[in-house]
A and B are shown apart, each in its own frame.
Chain A
């Protein structure tokens, strides 16, 4: 059992009308585990579904609406906090898709608020947010120092009153990553959504999403991120994207993202061996919502660290974390 059932339902929602109760239970558990239940509910729309499924899907639609409302309010609060700085604030990921009404935002689960600001303004931004009620989450000095020295974002902050997290990015990938996408160029080409808030250009949105899915992290939540990419491809010009990806050093990642999105959510694509391994990892979920293929998952977990840091640094990092009691899930 793999998450193919979920992928098929997103690609071709007409197919769900043939599911029996067992199939529905599997599909719903997978969609919840991959945080795609809202997207699925919107894809299914008003197709005929069993009596018991209807309230589950309408709950998911309401939850997605709330999710978007809350995310936009958080963006509004951040814009207010940063208004006096004369710094462009670029919304990233889910909040940007919801704010701009993109297809990728429809029904999307939105966790933290992610914003991108120019690296030279990072100190000002940090102070302004602290003044406006955000505070540090990580109380561990090692974690804090690690973020500041090596990461592409500030250590995460949470708003004391609203209990919502903000990630302030100053570039795309960790500073130790092999690729170095040009965050300055992304900010320069950003397009306005409101008077205060921007989003990345259509091509940069794909580059950013592909970099996060395939050049960083362990592919947790990857089916959702790949669905984003699948939708984001709608709005890009193929040649412009090619040039842009090359400029950011992400041509290979954008190419792979295109093949994977087409294979899982679109018209199909010829996959390389490496593509197939990534696809197997993306689909490693069963009908009870459980993670499958523990070894493959662990391999990608190791890879995520390998991508982030040279070996000696990785060894030091893992040893420090292990001494503090951290174990991989």
Chain B
């Protein structure tokens, strides 16, 4: 394709092709400190194509596809090209990755052990992971946690953190402006700004950690902590996994010890600062 770039994020590598210059330039700037796969074969191809016959030039709009795609994916404005590229990579992982059990979860690491947080979009798991990543934890990923099928370790997928709406100002106050991407206003999920993970998170992106605590965060509620039974944990993690069914027995064999051995809590919190304190406390008590 006319404009192309290769990226390596955690264990996965991507070849991204685009009909336009802008998305590739934005990626190149924000992923500048990531290792470049030189002359390497990519695990996945991502394509950003014009969404219709004249959509390259006239009201340019992007159809996101690649090795794996969704036929009914909504076209996106070229102004949101960076987001489109990120979504394209996520799509390949969600539909095509088979080397780990893929959990839709954020994760951070401290002292060689991992904290995994899962929940629906808007639960605050991504923001919480980003905040912890600024305060002494190593950010492993804000979107996918990769559970190793043999060892049970969690491996990082530290792509750019996708900050939404209120979370943008929270993190902009903590991180240096050079680590913030452009403001993408008015996307389908509201305003979005990307945050480049700290250099330690990028430098150690090949390093896994054994999971020590699982949290189900929920933002915007009175502070509360509840225990979650193993049956419920199992069900919620299978729902949070995009490839649990596809992996078959190895997926079950990897998830079972995780559910049995990792303490789990559901936490509600009214604000980010409350949440960080709550998480630090639970980590001291349980992990």
Point out residues on A near B: beta carbons under 8 Å.
20-21, 24-25, 28-29, 32-33, 50, 52-53, 55-56, 59, 62-63, 66, 69, 288-290
With a CB–CB cut-off of 8 A, which chain A residues contact B98? 59, 62-63
Contact B1 A56 (CB under 8 A): no
Contact B41 A290 (CB under 8 A): no
Contact A52 B13 (CB under 8 A): yes
Contact B47 A288 (CB under 8 A): yes
Cα distance, A32 to B92, chains bound together (Å): 12
**Looking at the complex, which one of B39, B47, B49, B248 makes contact with A21 (CB distance below 8 Å)?**
B39
Least CB distance from A299 to B in Å reads 17
Residues of B25-75 at the interface with A, using a CB-CB cut-off of 8 Å, are: 39-43, 45, 47, 49, 66-68
Given A32-B67, A62-B98, decide whether A56 and B43 contact each other with a Cβ distance below 8 A.
yes
Can you list 29 pairs linking A and B with CB atoms under 8 Å apart? Answer: A21-B39, A21-B40, A24-B41, A25-B45, A28-B41, A28-B67, A29-B67, A32-B45, A32-B67, A32-B68, A33-B67, A50-B41, A52-B41, A52-B42, A52-B43, A55-B99, A56-B43, A59-B99, A62-B98, A63-B98, A63-B246, A66-B246, A66-B248, A288-B17, A288-B45, A288-B47, A289-B45, A289-B47, A289-B66
Contact A289 B39 (CB under 8 A): no
Contact A21 B99 (CB under 8 A): no
Least CB distance from B95 to A in Å reads 11
Contact A29 B41 (CB under 8 A): no
With a CB–CB cut-off of 8 A, which chain A residues contact B41? 21, 24-25, 28, 50, 52-53, 56
* Further contacts, 19 of them, CB under 8 A, given A28-B41, A29-B67: A21-B40, A32-B45, A32-B68, A33-B67, A52-B40, A52-B41, A56-B41, A56-B43, A59-B98, A59-B99, A62-B98, A63-B98, A63-B246, A66-B248, A288-B45, A289-B47, A289-B66, A290-B1, A290-B49
**Looking at the complex, which one of A32, A33, A62, A288 makes contact with B1 (CB distance below 8 Å)?**
A288
Interface size on B, residues (CB 8 A): 19
Cα distance, A307 to B95, chains bound together (Å): 35
B15 close to chain A: CB less than 8 A: yes
Point out residues on B near A: beta carbons under 8 Å.
1, 13, 15, 17, 39-43, 45, 47, 49, 66-68, 98-99, 246, 248
Query: What residue of chain A has the Cβ atom nearest to residue B13's Cβ?
Result: A52
Cα distance, A289 to B47, chains bound together (Å): 9
Least CB distance from B38 to A in Å reads 9
Least CB distance from B181 to A in Å reads 26
Query: What residue of chain B has the Cβ atom nearest to residue A286's Cβ?
Result: B1
**Looking at the complex, which one of A20, A24, A63, A289 makes contact with B67 (CB distance below 8 Å)?**
A289
Lowest 3 CB-CB distances: which A-B pairs, in order?
A: A52-B41, A24-B41, A32-B67
Contact B15 A290 (CB under 8 A): no
Query: What residue of chain B has the Cβ atom nearest to residue A294's Cβ?
Result: B53
With a CB–CB cut-off of 8 A, which chain A residues contact B248? 66, 69
Cα distance, A290 to B40, chains bound together (Å): 21
Query: What residue of chain A has the Cβ atom nearest to residue B67's Cβ?
Result: A32
Cα distance, A24 to B99, chains bound together (Å): 20
Cα distance, A21 to B47, chains bound together (Å): 18
Query: What residue of chain B has the Cβ atom nearest to residue A62's Cβ?
Result: B98
With a CB–CB cut-off of 8 A, which chain B residues contact A56? 41, 43
With a CB–CB cut-off of 8 A, which chain A residues contact B68? 32
Cα distance, A52 to B49, chains bound together (Å): 26
Among B17, B66, B67, the most chain A Cβ lie within 10 Å of the Cβ of B67
